[in-house]
Structure 1
Amino acid sequence: MNKNAQQLLKGSINAVILKLLSQTERMYGYEICQKVKEMTHGELRITEGALYPALHKLEGEGILTTQTEVVDGRARKYYSIANDQQGNAVDRLAMIQNFLNQLQLILEPKDLISIPVK
């Protein structure tokens, strides 16, 4: 993935996290990284250095909750959308989708009539 795509993904990481967690009850960090890689056929990759600060920020805001379990002798921290924050997560995703729709109108205007300039 090139540097520009990496920057765009970094700015969208909260949306990626919320979308994945809204579709799955809970996930751990490495699992989120792998799911993004899988879904984009390797085109987008979230580094752990970008992911964990975003997860901690969302947890600090009360949007995510965590649960630690021991798996194969190692502690694994699972993240979930807090029960009382489901609506907030849906609202954030809708806001992001609206932004993407507006951006699409700018990047690929389809219904604009082209008037030649004299």
Structure 2
Amino acid sequence: NVLANKYLPKGAGAVFTFDLEGGRQAGQDFISGLTLWSHLANVGDTKSLVIHPASTTHRQLSDEELVAAGIGQGTIRLSVGIEQIDDLIWDLDQGFLELQSKDNK
């Protein structure tokens, strides 16, 4: 990625953030589809962690405060641990499949 290479010339860290369409429910559904990622509010562990800030660490904020903090209703944060990458990717796929199954019902 051009921006990652520009701003992180020595490589990216282990924490990644992305937004899911579908708001809070999508974030919660995605996490419910995961089995390998631990749903915890800390970072920097050797195990892989996932959090949905809008319903956990920042749940006390109003929608306007979330936007001001750069947190969307569907924001997901991943802290990648030392597990096998293929296993982690497979598990993330399970989270996305969980979202798709909810969309089709």
Asked if these proteins are the same fold (TM beyond 0.5), I'd say no
Q: If you compute each CA radius of gyration, which structure gives the higher value, 1 or 2?
A: 1
Higher relative helix content: 1
Scaled by the length of structure 1, what TM-score is found? 0.27
If the length of structure 2 is used for normalisation, what is the TM-score? 0.30
